[in-house]
């Protein structure tokens, strides 16, 4: 199975790692996971974003650590849909926050003559304070990358 998902991955945290692990689980032993990393105009909404090479390196390190590197393809994406709008994929992994975008993506795929992707919503990983782990919260020093509250 060919599974895709994307994100900024500003700080690779426990929630991102869970998402990556789930994507490889869903893809299966012979499947491929396509990971899109955002760059350019799409990042204008973010207050602070690490350079692309740093974000990409942290993902590559995690893929290597988990033994996923041979079944992963990393792509830089410049818009909200990236190659998923026309690409040859079976499923897309989404968060509760990005589910609506994925529904819109499937409409665009159908308009482009492509089959819709199976939408697989992965729940947020919560921090100790029962709020979602996010790079923004880590940058704001509310929590660490494991979701522990910073005192």
For the segment 81-139, what is each residue's pLDDT rounded down to a tens digit?
888 999 999 999 999 988 999 999 999 999 999 999 999 999 999 999 999 999 999 99
Please write down the HEC assignment for all residues of the chain: CEEEEEECCCCCCHHHHHHHHHHHHHHCCCCEEEEEEECHHHHCCCCCCCCHHHHHHHHHHHHHHHCCHHHEEEEEECCCCHHHHCCCCCEEEECCCCHHHHHHHHHHHHHCCCCCCEEEECCCCECCCCCECCHHHHHCCCECCCCCECC
pTM: 0.92
Is 52's pLDDT higher than 80? yes
Domains contained in the chain, CATH given:
2-125 (3.40.50.620)
């Amino acid at each position: 199975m060919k599974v895709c998902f994307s994100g900024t991955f500003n700080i690779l945290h426990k929630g991102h790692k869970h998402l990556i692990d789930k994507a490889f689980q869903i893809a299966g032993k012979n499947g491929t996971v396509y990971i899109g990393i955002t760059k350019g105009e799409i990042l204008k909404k973010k207050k602070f974003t690490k350079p692309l090479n740093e974000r990409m390196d942290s993902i590559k390190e995690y893929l290597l650590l988990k033994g996923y590197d041979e079944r992963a393809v990393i792509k830089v994406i410049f818009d909200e849909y990236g190659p998923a709008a026309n690409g040859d994929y079976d499923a897309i992994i989404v968060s509760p926050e990005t589910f609506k975008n994925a529904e819109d993506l499937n409409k665009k795929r159908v308009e482009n003559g492509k089959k819709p992707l199976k939408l697989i919503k992965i729940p947020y990983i919560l921090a100790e304070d029962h709020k979602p782990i996010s790079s923004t919260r880590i940058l704001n020093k509310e929590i660490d990358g494991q979701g522990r509250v910073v005192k």
